[in-house]
Structure formats: structure tokens, C-alpha cells
A and B are shown apart, each in its own frame.
Chain A
Amino acid sequence: MPPIVYYLTTLIVFFFIFAISTWGLNLQFGTAGILNFTYITFFAIGGYFSGVSMLGRPDALSHMRYIMGLGLPFPIALLIGTVASCVLGALVGLVALRRLRSDYLAIVTVSVGAIVYDLVNVNTELFNGADGIAGVPYPFQKALGLDPNTYTLFYVLLAGLFALVLGIVAFRIYNAPLGRTLRAIREDRDVAAAFGKNTYLFQMVAMVVGCAYAGIAGALLIGFISALNPGGWTAGETFLLYAALLLGGRGNNWGALLGAFLLPVLFQEATRYLPQVPGHPELIPAVRNMLVGALLIAILWFRPEGIMPERKARFPRVDFTPRREAAAVD
């Protein structure tokens, strides 16, 4: 396979994975108004759990230590990763979605992110600490006897299939009564509650389903690159997804798709080739992150609705101006 094809297919796989992540974030933040500032943690949990489900028992040769090591095929591993991510999401929701202002949810998510990050780093028994797990077998490669040279082509199909199905689900949720109710809660929680909606339950559904998207995306990533370590899921990655969603158009699944292409794929690839400053390997990534942070703020100032704004329902205007009174004065 020529390098350029290999490169492009790799980018397409990343695009599908980011699209799935951004749709999940759009369900939480864009549709339901849930401020999850550690979305990437759910992505990582999905990746780790499906990774250690696919890996065999840790042996002395690999120098890795991790839990489970079940040697399961990819579909079951993906399911385990997704469920793990959903369970964590439900626990966070249980604490934070109940009758609290949205800043408290954000605080809880920031804290959960810090704690999970700490636990994974300190507890090397879980997922091999700061070194992370590596050597996760490629999904379906052995079972279908696929050629390693053209494997990325197969993965484009696999990730594409997931992106297609999850994309359709995301669009359907948005237009379904569930999506409508979530948007109503986002606009005004009290009004939605006054119409008899159980706002807590609805937001919980959005939280858990959004975490399922993150978990699946994480599982697809670890299946593709076969490794994951704590350096890969810092707050910067969550920012990148928020910036992608806000740039594309918060609340619009097409916008989320566009954002996933523009920021994590196009911008990251374009800045990958910036020259390194000798002796300061951290400088370019730092500048890149500063650009993402600045871009996020600039979008919110200049065009908070994003490139593709959410289409909101229009209602006929009711004219309340008292015309009769003016006549009476005459």
C-alpha cells in the first residue's frame, strides 16, 4: 500500500472516531446542556476496558500489569468498554444531575477526571500506570486472516460502519421526542419540569448515551492504534472536542461532523508539520493547545452558534401592542 494511501486511510479512521466522540458530546452538551468537562475520561475508560478485555493474561515477558486480560474478541470487548464508560457516566450523573446548578456538574466532572487520572497513574495494577497498555491485538485480524499491510483499509470500513450507525442514531435522537425534551431542558429546566418532564431522568439518559458514544470511540481507537496511556487523554483532548463542536455548530449533528473534520483532523494534521524548536520539544504542542483555547473563546465571542447553527423551531409572533388605547386617547 503506498504511504499516501496509508496516511489518508489513517486520517479517515481518526475522522470517524472523532465524529462519534463529537456526536456524543453534542448529545450531552449540545442537546441536553450537560457540562461534562472530562468527556475524554469516558473515552479513555471505554478504551482501557476494551483493551484489557482483548489482551491475554499479563505475562512476565511483556512487563505490563493490568486487570482482566480476558483475551476476548473485539465485539465483546467493545461492549465491556462501552458498559464501563456508561456505568461511570451514570455514577457521575447520580451525584451531579440531581437538582444542582450546571456549574456543580462541571465541578464534579472536573474532579472525577482528576481522580480517575490519578488512580490510573498511581495504581499501576489497573492499566499499567503512566506507561499505559500496548500491544492490543487488532480486531478481526486473526479471525478473518487479514493482511497486515491492508489492514487500515478494513478498519476504515469497520469504523465507518460504526460512524454510520451511531450517526443515524444521533440524528434520530435529536428529532425524537427525547431530543425535543432534552432541548427544552437545556433552554429552561424549570419550564420543562413544569410541563411534567422528569428532567433528572432525561438528563441521565443523555449523560449515559453520550458516555456510550465516548466509550465506543475509545474502543475503536485502541483497536486501531493498539495502545493507550494517560498522556492521550488530558484536559486538552476534551477542549479539542468542545472547540470542534462549538466551531461546527452546537446542537447540530451536521455541525458536529464538520467540526470533527475541521479541528481534530485538519487542524491537528496541519500543525503537526510545524518545525520543532530545538531543545524545546514541548513548545509546539503548547502553542497548538493555546491556539485551540483561544479559538474556543473567539468562537464563543464572534459566532457562538458555530458555522452550521442549530435550526430552531419558529413560532408565529403574537402581537401584544394595545391598539385600542391609542384610539381611545384620540
Chain B
Amino acid sequence: MLNVMALSLGFGLITASVLALAAVGLSLQFGVTNYINFAYGEFLTLGAYFAWTLSHGLGLNLWLSVGLAALLMGLFGVLLNRFLLKPFTQKGVPLHFLLVVTFGLSLFLSNLILAIWGPNFKTLDLPRETPHRFGLFLFTNSQLTIIAIAAVAMLGVHLLLTRTEIGKAMRAMSDSTDLAQVSGIDTNRITSFTWLVSGALAGLAGIVLVMNINSFQPSFGGEFLFVIFAAVILGGVGSPYGAMLGALVIGLATEMSAIFVNSAYKNDVAFALLILTLLLRPSGIIRMAGKV
């Protein structure tokens, strides 16, 4: 039993790492722009396919491909905001329509991915490996890498938000765009930068997700989206630290639940936590003003 517990705890940590990357990316963007991106699941998918094309199609080194794919996804986020979403917000369309736009975008992107890469399963070629033992835990090299990438990225986000001018401006915009603007913050530039970070984190999350599940096909990101929502809402919408906390809780809860129920139902655990949060504490663990 102890071994099973340790094993699930290990899986939980890995899922939490994947989720943390995705949830923080979504939460940062939601905080600054104040609307939810329903195409975010396809951001994850696209990131993984970029990495696959770079490493398989162009024969680049796997880790170089991962870095490039994340960068490309960041750029993709910036361009998407500049040419599609920003024009809509500047036109002053109601929140409703903006959400329908991102919803339409998710259909467009998921089918674009299907048209380009086809419906068959793909795998990133990871080196064959033997698991390392850490006390009761067993981790493979790629699993350790996933945890390391997430940890470094979370530390990076923390330093960005607390130590840099641009990060502080992001937090200011998240509190109030109007107040940020009157105090001289270039909100357009900060929004662009936020999309860069959000896209890059989504790309990374997609890549580490497929490292964890080995093979992937075009719908995997969209199917993971509501688990990301669960983490973001549980933690507190718009709060990056809440998203990290939410990711940890959801990651551990979904994997640990496999001890008690059929593992086919682990997504239902995330769903149950989402519903409970909305019923009992819609603001999430960390309450942010104006986001509920």
C-alpha cells in the first residue's frame, strides 16, 4: 500500500508540474486581459506538434526543439492578440462575443492541426531509460525533466512578477487596467508581453504533457482544457500563485484518486473539485478582486 501511495504521489507530482505550467499561463493572460481564452487547449496541442516537427521533420536536437517550439508558441500568442483579439477588444465588443471568438478559434485551430498533421498518433523520441529510485519514489529521466522544467518556469514567473518592472506592471494591470494606464504603464506592450509568456508556457505545458503520456493526437490539448480550468478556478482566477496551488491540488487529487477508483475516472475527480469550488468558494483559494 505504501508503495502504491508513493507511486501515485509521484504521478501526482508530475501531473501537477504539467498543470502548473498550463494553469499559470492561462491565469496570467486572464488576469491581464480579463477574458478567458477557450482556444488555450489548442495552444498546448500546437506546442507539442511544433516540437515534433522541429525534432522529427527538421532533425533538430530534442531539447533545442522544445525551446524553439515554446518560443514559437509565445510568438503565436503575440500575433494572435495583435491581429485577432486586440482588434476585437478595441472595437469594444461585449465579453460574450469575445468568448465566442476564442471558442471559434479553438475549432479553427484544432481542425487546422488535424489538417496539417493528420489524425494518427505521434511520439516525441525520448531516450530509452531506466527509472531512478528516490526513497519510495520512482522517476524516469523524462519525468524528472518535466518536474525540473516546471520548477524552473515557476521560479521564473515568480521572479518576473516580483523583481522586474514589466512583471510589476502585469500585476498592476491585473488589479485594474484603467489605474495601470493612468499611472503611465504602456498597457499594449504589457498585454503583448503577457501573451508571449502565456503562449510559451502553454507550448511548454503541451510538450511536457506529451512527454508524460508518450503518444499524442490532435485532440489532446482540448481534452485537457477543463482540467486546467479546474486548477485555475480552484486556485483563484487571475492569481498565478493560486494557479500553482490549484495545479498541485488537482494534480495530486486526480492521481491519488486512482488508488480508490478506476483510473479512467481521474478526470471526473478534477471535474468534481471544479464544481465543489464553484459551489462553495467561487473566488477560489486566493481571492482576486473583480474576477468572479
Interface residues of A (CB under 8 A from B): 33, 35, 37, 95-96, 99-104, 106-108, 110-112, 114-115, 118-119, 122, 235-236, 239, 242-243, 246, 280, 282-283, 285-287, 289-290, 292-294, 296-297, 300-301, 304
Q: Which A residues are in CB contact (< 8 Å) with B84?
A: 297
Give the contacts of B203-256 with A (CB-CB under 8 A): 222-223, 225-226, 229-230, 233
Q: A103-B95, A292-B107 are in contact. Are A111 and B274 (CB under 8 A)?
A: yes
Contact B282 A246 (CB under 8 A): no
B115 within 8 A of A: yes
Q: Which B residues are in CB contact (< 8 Å) with A282?
A: 114-115, 118-119
Q: How many Å from the CB of A135 to the closest CB on chain B? A: 27
As a 0/1 sequence over residues 102 to 128 of chain B, the CB contacts with chain A under 8 angstroms (1 = contact) are 011111111110110011000000000
Given contacts A35-B100, A286-B114, 11 further A-B contacts (CB under 8 A): A100-B282, A100-B292, A103-B36, A104-B278, A106-B38, A114-B226, A114-B271, A236-B107, A286-B111, A293-B104, A293-B108
Q: A115-B268, A115-B271, A283-B115 are in contact. Are A300 and B93 (CB under 8 A)?
A: yes
B53 within 8 A of A: no
Q: A118-B268, A294-B108, A297-B105 are in contact. Are A95 and B114 (CB under 8 A)?
A: no
A301 to B87 alpha-carbon distance, docked (Å): 9
A119 to B272 alpha-carbon distance, docked (Å): 13
Q: A95-B278, A242-B100, A296-B100 are in contact. Are A235 and B222 (CB under 8 A)?
A: yes
Contact B226 A111 (CB under 8 A): yes
B275 within 8 A of A: yes
Contact A300 B35 (CB under 8 A): no
Q: How many Å from the CB of A305 to the closest CB on chain B? A: 11
A286 to B222 alpha-carbon distance, docked (Å): 15
A293 to B112 alpha-carbon distance, docked (Å): 10
Q: How many Å from the CB of A102 to the closest CB on chain B? A: 6
Q: Which A residues are in CB contact (< 8 Å) with B278?
A: 95-96, 100, 104, 108
Contact B282 A290 (CB under 8 A): no
Q: Which A residues are in CB contact (< 8 Å) with B96?
A: 33, 35, 102
Candidates B88, B95, B106, B223; contact of A300 at CB < 8 Å: B88
Q: Which A residues are in CB contact (< 8 Å) with B108?
A: 289-290, 293-294, 297
Give the contacts of B39-92 with A (CB-CB under 8 A): 84, 87-88
Contact B107 A235 (CB under 8 A): yes
Q: Which A residues are in CB contact (< 8 Å) with B114?
A: 282, 286
Contact B35 A290 (CB under 8 A): no
Candidates B111, B119, B279, B291; contact of A289 at CB < 8 Å: B111
Interface centre among B108, B223, B233, B279 (most CB of A within 10 A): B108
Q: Which A residues are in CB contact (< 8 Å) with B110?
A: 289
Interface residues of B (CB under 8 A from A): 35-36, 38, 84, 87-88, 93, 95-97, 99-101, 103-112, 114-115, 118-119, 222-223, 225-226, 229-230, 233, 264-265, 267-268, 271, 274-275, 278-279, 282, 291-292
Interface centre among A107, A112, A304 (most CB of B within 10 A): A107
Q: Which B residues are in CB contact (< 8 Å) with A115?
A: 226, 267-268, 271
Q: How many Å from the CB of B96 to the closest CB on chain A? A: 6
A108 to B225 alpha-carbon distance, docked (Å): 12
Dominant secondary structure at the B interface: helix
Q: How many Å from the CB of B34 to the closest CB on chain A? A: 9
Q: How many Å from the CB of B235 to the closest CB on chain A? A: 14
Contact A242 B35 (CB under 8 A): no
Q: How many Å from the CB of A76 to the closest CB on chain B? A: 31
Contact B88 A103 (CB under 8 A): no
Q: How many Å from the CB of B142 to the closest CB on chain A? A: 26
B104 and chain A: residue at smallest CB distance: A296
Contact sample, A vs B, 27 pairs, CB 8 Å cutoff: A35-B96, A35-B99, A99-B292, A101-B95, A104-B282, A111-B226, A111-B271, A114-B223, A115-B267, A115-B271, A118-B268, A122-B264, A242-B104, A280-B118, A282-B115, A282-B119, A287-B115, A289-B108, A290-B107, A290-B108, A294-B104, A296-B100, A297-B104, A300-B93, A300-B97, A300-B100, A301-B87
Q: Which B residues are in CB contact (< 8 Å) with A101?
A: 95, 291-292
B264 and chain A: residue at smallest CB distance: A122
A282 to B118 alpha-carbon distance, docked (Å): 7
Q: A114-B223, A115-B271, A300-B88 are in contact. Are A289 and B107 (CB under 8 A)?
A: yes
A270 to B264 alpha-carbon distance, docked (Å): 40
Contact B107 A95 (CB under 8 A): no
Q: How many Å from the CB of B258 to the closest CB on chain A? A: 14
Q: Which A residues are in CB contact (< 8 Å) with B279?
A: 95
A290 to B84 alpha-carbon distance, docked (Å): 16
A119 to B88 alpha-carbon distance, docked (Å): 36
Contact B38 A37 (CB under 8 A): yes
Q: Which B residues are in CB contact (< 8 Å) with A246?
A: 100
Contact A102 B119 (CB under 8 A): no
A108 to B107 alpha-carbon distance, docked (Å): 18
A136 to B115 alpha-carbon distance, docked (Å): 34
Contact B103 A37 (CB under 8 A): yes
Contact A110 B93 (CB under 8 A): no
Contact A103 B107 (CB under 8 A): no
A282 and chain B: residue at smallest CB distance: B119
Q: Which B residues are in CB contact (< 8 Å) with A110?
A: 38, 225-226, 229
Interface centre among A101, A111, A296 (most CB of B within 10 A): A111
Q: Which B residues are in CB contact (< 8 Å) with A235?
A: 106-107, 222
